[in-house]
Amino acid sequence: MPDTASRPGKLDQEAHRLRAVGDWTLPHYAQLRNDVIRVHEARTIDLERLGDLDTAGAALLVDLLGPETLREIAEGARGLTHERRAMLMAVADAMRDPLFPPPAPRTTPLTALAGLGLAVERLGRQQLALLGFIGFTLSSLLGTLLRPRRWRLTALVAHIQQTGLNAIPIVALLTFLVGAVVAFLGATVLRDFGATLYTVNLVTYSFLREFGVLLAAILLAGRTASAFTAQIGSMKANEELDALRAQGLSPMELLVLPRVLAMLLSLPVLTLVGMLSGMVGGALVCALALDISTTQFLTILQRDIPLRHFLVGLGKAPLFAFVIAAIGCLEGMKAGASAQSVGEHTTSSVVQSIFMIILLDALAALFFMEMGW
């Protein structure tokens, strides 16, 4: 075994020519490091007299020359063995991208404004894509309704079970608990004014107009829109959508329309379940904590609460259902051919769906207020 101490590596500089001499290995690292620091930077180096080499010495050469320059010199060096050339290139490639990324640039008002502009531009493109997909979905739906042979009844029933029947327990439980919380809150505030009886009005108004449809839609946005995106995104990643098109089948008719129709049928039913469960939770709190019997609760509901509040809440359900289904299917269509892309678009579909639900609900509240409904 050769004695590594007998051939210490060093940098020779003769006639403005830099030359690597001896063994560039870990035992000589300290001396070689001092030589590299003294030279500081070089554009070329002669590697013909280079002895043994390990990763420590290769890293010093990268520090001296830079990864790109070292690769060029290693490729053209005649005296290098294949193993040393491969090691130099491997270390240069590994050190091309730093282990720790450089610190983020300092944020200034101008960069913050530029970032805001990019975010607004992305949002605008996203909404334009959603509008285009909604138009495509509506046109496909109208074309399919006139051709009963192209209806996918089996897929429709399966998605109704998935989006509607399977979601009834969680919707009923959540709205029941929220109804109880709203009743407790109303009783706490109204007790100071001697008007605890109006807790009934608070619970019924809130669930008939807002909470029933809003909570059901948000639950479906997190539960069903994400499922739609994951299912269609996985099919796209596996090239199943391309296979359908190659067979002359439309992914819109096979995948999107059954899901949209299932949501249009399921969400109104879940909204009704949410309204009833929320009022049952409120009635239970009224009976146990406020001495308002169930009979009195139902009498106030029938006498003082107009039917239009129920119709306002139920009328928003189809709109929310269509938006949730469209966003979930669109994000699935936009997913790439990787698991990371499918996960990112699944998260995006949930966030977009909840944002659009709350935005549309706020706009609807303003519209109904101006109309006096």
Contact 216, 175 (CB under 8 A): yes
Regions of the chain where pLDDT drops below 50: 1-6
Rg (CA), the chain: 34
On whether residue 88 sits in a domain, the answer given is: yes
What predicted TM-score, i.e. pTM, was given to this entire model?
0.68
Q: What is the pLDDT of residues 199-213, one digit of tens each?
A: 999 999 999 999 999
For residues 41 and 150, membership in a common domain is answered with no
Distances (CA, A) of 194 to 36, 197, 198, 199, 305: 86, 8, 10, 11, 21
**Number of domains comprising the chain:** 2
Which token pair is 53?
Answer: 């080499």
For residues 88 and 149, membership in a common domain is answered with no
Contact 248, 349 (CB under 8 A): no
For residues 238 and 333, membership in a common domain is answered with yes
On whether residue 157 sits in a domain, the answer given is: yes
Number of helices (H) and strands (E) in the chain: give both, helices first: 16, 3
On whether residue 179 sits in a domain, the answer given is: yes
For residues 87 and 181, membership in a common domain is answered with no
Q: Report pLDDT for 104.
A: 63
How buried is 328 (Cβ within 10 angstroms: 0-12 exposed, 13-18 middle, 19+ buried)?
Answer: buried
For residues 59 and 132, membership in a common domain is answered with no
Q: Report pLDDT for 351.
A: 92
Q: Report pLDDT for 61.
A: 81
For residues 353 and 206, membership in a common domain is answered with yes
- How far is it, in rounded angstroms, from Cα 31 to Cα 356? 65
For residues 56 and 144, membership in a common domain is answered with no
On whether residue 33 sits in a domain, the answer given is: yes
User: Could you say which of 73, 94, 115 is where a domain stops?
Assistant: 94
For residues 145 and 282, membership in a common domain is answered with yes
For residues 265 and 132, membership in a common domain is answered with yes
For residues 60 and 154, membership in a common domain is answered with no
For residues 35 and 141, membership in a common domain is answered with no
- How far is it, in rounded angstroms, from Cα 206 to Cα 220? 20
22: domain CATH number is 3.30.750
Q: What is the pLDDT of residues 155-193, one digit of tens each?
A: 899 999 988 899 999 999 999 999 999 999 888 888 888
For residues 205 and 321, membership in a common domain is answered with yes
- How far is it, in rounded angstroms, from Cα 356 to Cα 367? 16
Give the range of the structural domain holding residue 141, as residue numbers without chain letter. Answer: 128-371
On whether residue 171 sits in a domain, the answer given is: yes
User: Could you say which of 36, 71, 94 is where a domain stops?
Assistant: 94
On whether residue 356 sits in a domain, the answer given is: yes
- How far is it, in rounded angstroms, from Cα 326 to Cα 319? 11
Q: Report pLDDT for 68.
A: 81
On whether residue 115 sits in a domain, the answer given is: no
Contact 260, 364 (CB under 8 A): no
On whether residue 258 sits in a domain, the answer given is: yes
User: Could you say which of 94, 109, 144 is where a domain stops?
Assistant: 94
